[in-house]
Amino acid sequence: MLRTLSLPALAVLIAAATPLRAEDTPRPAPSNPQAAPSLGADTLKPGKPAVKPYLAETALPDAVQILPPPPAHDAPLDKADRAAFNGTRALKGSPRWEIAANDVSEGAAAVLDNFACVLGTRIDQARVPAVLNLLERARLDLARATRGPKVHYRRLRPFVGNEAPICVQRTQALTDSFSYPSGHATQGWAYALILASLVPEKATAILARGRAYGESRVVCGVHWLSDVAAGRLTGTSVFATLMGDSGFRADLDKARAELRGALSGGGTAPDQAVCTREAEALREPPLEF
């Protein structure tokens, strides 16, 4: 399983790496920064209103004030970021790389599927509309929270300015999107917190998988390690604020009863061979090199 880096481990990373420097090839800031998901019509279900976020704009935590700035160029944490990027390029083709590529999928349905092994059931998502509604509404709040610091700091992604392998196709849209904080890590960690509150007896496994889901962004090569740490902090901030919202808490209670019913019977057990490979791959610490 991946482990959180201590300060001594950061020093090892700094000493071990000969970093590739995206900073040496600066790019102009995108003219149209990526925004949060549209709150208008639901394009996936024509004729139905779009899912609405839980939090009013004034209630949303300000991640620009909550997060520290991304590491300054050549500061110790910046060197550790680049060391982690360089070191994890060697994972291309490994089982951990495959998990990172699979973790690129986001949203309620994808995360429930990715968490099937730790939940112990591959949930029939037609049976859990309240769970999906809870996660998709929260997702809009999470997207809005990450947009502020992304646009404020305009941090380039680690693969910009080099040809190192990444686990997804390089596109201009990805290149022009901002890196800090990681939206995937924000969403994955917040979803893990929500799922842990719904099924507290599985909290340890769920939260460990949520951490690995975020760190897949480092393995994938599309985020810096500090982007992922900032994503966890952003996700925690939004979750804490959501817990103060009566509508969210009411939906959380509905989802809890629904998910427990789905887990108690009627679901399909995940492929144990797949789960064993996942557990073994996540047990290896990819940031030690």
State yes or no: is 227 an active-site residue: yes
Written as one string, the DSSP assignment of 194-219 is HHHHHSGGGHHHHHHHHHHHHHHHHH
State yes or no: is 184 an active-site residue: yes
Among 223, 232, 245, 251, the active-site one is 223
Burial of 65 (0-12, 13-18, 19+ CB in 10 A): exposed
State yes or no: is 73 an active-site residue: no
Among 137, 157, 184, 232, the active-site one is 184
Residue corresponding to tokens 């620009």:
64
Query: How confident is the model at residue 265, as a pLDDT?
Result: 78
Cα dist from 48 to 33, 42, 56, whole Å: 28, 6, 21
Residue 211 domain-assigned (yes or no): yes
Query: How confident is the model at residue 79, as a pLDDT?
Result: 96
Residue 17 domain-assigned (yes or no): no
Residue 64 domain-assigned (yes or no): no
pTM score of the predicted model: 0.83
Query: How confident is the model at residue 106, as a pLDDT?
Result: 86
Query: How confident is the model at residue 286, as a pLDDT?
Result: 57
Query: How confident is the model at residue 8, as a pLDDT?
Result: 38
Residue 13 domain-assigned (yes or no): no
Residue 205 domain-assigned (yes or no): yes
Residue 133 domain-assigned (yes or no): yes
Query: How confident is the model at residue 37, as a pLDDT?
Result: 40
Written as one string, the DSSP assignment of 127-173 is G-HHHHHHHHHHHHHHHHHHHHHHHHH-PPPTTTTS----SS---HH
Range of the domain at 269: 73-283
Query: How confident is the model at residue 259, as a pLDDT?
Result: 95
Q: What is the pLDDT along the chain (289 residues), one digit of tens a residue?
A: 344 444 334 333 333 344 444 444 334 444 444 433 433 444 445 455 668 999 999 999 999 999 999 999 999 999 999 999 999 999 999 999 999 999 999 899 999 999 999 999 999 889 999 999 999 999 999 999 999 999 999 999 999 999 999 999 999 999 999 999 999 999 999 999 999 999 999 999 999 999 999 999 999 999 999 999 999 999 999 999 999 999 999 999 999 999 999 998 767 899 999 999 899 988 876 555 3
Q: Which CATH number goes with the domain that contains 260?
A: 1.20.144.10
Under a CB-based contact definition with an 8 Å cutoff, are residues 143 and 37 in contact?
yes
How many structural domains is the chain composed of?
Answer: 1
Residue 275 domain-assigned (yes or no): yes
Q: At a CB cut-off of 8 Å and minimum separation 6, what does 246 contact?
A: none
Residue 185 domain-assigned (yes or no): yes
